[in-house]
Amino acid sequence: MRRIVVRKRIIYCLSALTLLLVGPGLLAGHLLSSRAPEGLLAGSIAGIYGKELPVRWQELILDSAQKEMLLKEMRYYKSLPDTLAFGVIRNDAAANYVFVEDALSKTETFTYAVYLTAEGEIIDVDVLIYRENYGGEIDYPAFRKQFRGKQRPQELVLGRSIQNISGATISVRSMTLATRDLLSLFARLNPDIRRISE
């Protein structure tokens, strides 16, 4: 466990250096359409699954009618991209999915990954890049485990199923609501996502 934490800290430092050298635009992406830098995601996958697994990226085009329908259920996202990017991970022949999202912290955004089964159950969440000096506790195992096993959006309730962290209130709220929206979106688009993943 300690080895994974140290490895993630090194990756975070390298990511910060990359941001300084090439600018924030490289990693910022769009909400719900990001692709994480390969090194970050590879480390995350190894930490989640206990082994390295390849990711195959897919894109699902959303038409205006779909977006309008989906936005009626959203509590965090005010808009949706025209193209939804997601990664397909094969774990012992079962298809799992990873979505990379940007969410708001106090003055910046942070980038995190949500891992889902084909049925839409959360396997885990993992913070890939946290850009604030405070609030990084949202990547601690004790906080992340609250998301595991959740499948329905109404299971993610701040202050009930997801406990707040002092000093990271905005990050906790953003992560909870954004993940809740992702579960809604995945449930609605599940047939299309699974079809293009085969």
| Cβ-contact 32, 101 below 8 angstroms | yes
| Cβ-contact 17, 39 below 8 angstroms | no
Which domain, by its residues, includes 59?
A: 2-197
Hey, how many other C-beta atoms are within 10 angstroms of the C-beta on 7?
13
Is 64 exposed, middle or buried (CB count within 10 Å of its CB: 0-12, 13-18, 19+)?
exposed
* pLDDT at position 150: 98
Predicted confidence (pLDDT) per residue in 93-149, tens digit = 889 999 999 999 999 999 999 999 999 999 999 999 999 999 999 999 999 999 999
* pLDDT at position 92: 85
Total-model pTM: 0.83
CA 85 – CA 94 distance, rounded (Å): 19
CA 25 – CA 31 distance, rounded (Å): 13
CA dist 94 to 86, 89, 165, Å?
Answer: 16, 8, 34
CA 63 – CA 44 distance, rounded (Å): 31
Query: Which of 6-10, 74-78, 182-186 is predicted with the least confidence, judged by mean pLDDT?
Result: 6-10
CA 75 – CA 103 distance, rounded (Å): 13
Q: How far apart are the two ends of the chain, measured CA to CA in Å? A: 33
> How many domains is the chain built from?
1
* pLDDT at position 190: 96
Average pLDDT, the chain: 85
CA 197 – CA 141 distance, rounded (Å): 30
* Residue indicated by tokens 């635009």: 25
Residues with Cβ within 8 Å of residue 195, at least 6 apart in sequence: none
Predicted confidence (pLDDT) per residue in 174-183, tens digit = 999 999 999 9
